A and B are shown apart, each in its own frame.
Chain A
């Protein structure tokens, strides 16, 4: 049970890290020489977190790690050597916020389930 919670926690944590990076891009929309950053998360297969694969046909479950790698994209700079595209960043931020909210909603449901299980005995 708590393994699932750990996985959801990773989703929220990753979205949180990415939100910070996108916010930085928006803040630096007019900073000369600034290059767009993003963060990528390498999937890790933690034994505690993946589903058991008892048959070769089973698909392994992959969960990401919280420690992301900051990537810098230096393609297509403007005249001031800055390549932030405001609309792209706002779209990324909205998408990422939805991901975050999905994670939080999932975690909320999990807590509600636990609470409901505790209540039925009473």
Chain B
């Protein structure tokens, strides 16, 4: 039903932000991983959000979805650590291109956006509950 599609919009935002949070968690967890299944150090990942129309016809409802997870191709951080098993002959180790501060800021943004959608969801719920109580007096 058209009225209830608004819940789908909020839910899509919650799912998308949670997936973003998962990606950030992977980035933070692998901030020091120098070996991956594909070989080489871990590459930072990021989600791409796109709009996702909800409901039928011109309802104006635009949800959001993660259309893909992209790899950040920025250069690896080069650290001098001759004792590291992955160091080259000059003692340089290629570390993942994860910037912990950047990830933390990203995480805060995802968290705020998630909270905002939870608030929107709750407002929708309050509105519809009130309408459902019509005529019960």
A residues whose Cβ falls under 8 Å from a Cβ of B: 12, 15-17, 19-24, 26-32, 34, 37, 39, 68, 70, 86, 89-90, 93-94, 97, 100-101, 104, 107-108, 111-112, 115
Contact = CB atoms under 8 A, between A and B. Distances in A.
Interface of B: 3, 5-6, 9-10, 12-13, 16-17, 20, 48-51, 54-55, 58-64, 109-110, 112-113, 116-117, 119-120, 123-124, 126-127, 130-131, 133-135, 137
B10 A27 contact: yes
B114 to A, nearest CB: 10
Contacts of A100: 127, 130
A34 B126 CA distance: 27
A27 B63 contact: yes
B116 A29 contact: yes
B9 A23 contact: yes
Given A19-B6, A20-B6, A32-B49, A26 B13 contact: yes
Contacts of A34: 51, 62
A97 B117 contact: no
